[in-house]
Structure 1
Amino acid sequence: MAGPGAKPRKDVQPKLRLDKWLFAARFFKNRELAAEVIESGHLRLNGQRCKKPGHGVMEGDTLAFSQGRNLRLLRVRALSDRRGPAQEAQQLYDDLAPTADAPLE
């Protein structure tokens, strides 16, 4: 078991709590709102319904959830537990949802 002074393992990809990441990426005003959406079952992580705000999210994961009237579909590009400015937050994900003006095929 690794203690506080242990070196990080190179074969393990870092993870971050799902509610913390959603808050840091500025999708919700606070972690409680992010946790409510997750607990209600309205968020899918890699295609699977996720109901635990503490579930680990890592780079490359895909998230789908509704935000107001919009369906958000994203790929996690980076992890950050710090809620920075909007420009910094936009660097944490790739938006996979088609834009309203793009033709659907």
Structure 2
Amino acid sequence: MSEDACRIDLWLWRARFVKTRGLAADLVERRAVRLTHHGREVRLDKPSRCVHVGDLLTFAQNGRVTSLRVEALGERRGPPEEARALYSLIA
């Protein structure tokens, strides 16, 4: 994998939207995550799919729909302040 891309399950875990990578993989495999990359929207089906800086993500979790822009990929699963720097919410 290149330095400008990250697996979607790993990114969701680093950004603290899920507690484990397994839960992130389940979320993706349920086809609950949509990715918009270069203007093309796709519903993700595999946790190994890549996410890039600037991509838009939309996913449903716990009865809420979340839309966000990926701002960074992250190096680790750090504290919440570090996780919030990985994305910006879209109203």
- Say yes or no: TM over 0.5: yes
1:41 equivalenced with 2:59 (yes/no): no
Which of 48, 56, 60 aligns to 2:50? It is: 56
Whether 2:61 is the aligned partner of 1:67: answer yes
Partner residue of 1:9?
none
Runs of 5+ unmatched residues, structure 2: none
Pairs aligned (count):
86
Higher strand share: 2
Alignment root-mean-square deviation, CA:
1.3
SS at match of 2:57: strand
Write out the 4+ residue segments of structure 1 that deviate beyond 6 Å after TM superposition: none
Structure 1 residue aligned with 2:7: 17
TM-score of the aligned structures, taking structure 1 as reference length: 0.78
TM-score between both structures, scaled by the size of structure 2: 0.89
Query: Which structure carries more relative contact order (alpha carbon 8 Å, separation 6+)?
Result: 2
Q: Distance in 2 between matches of 1:23 and 1:81?
A: 11
Q: Which runs of 5+ in 1 are unaligned?
A: 1-11, 99-105
- How many percent identity over aligned positions? 43
2:23 equivalent to 1:29: no
Shift in Å, 1:81: 3.9
Determine which structure has more spread, i.e. the larger CA radius of gyration.
Answer: 1
**1:81/1:40 Cα in 2 relative to 1: closer, same or farther (>3 Å)?**
farther
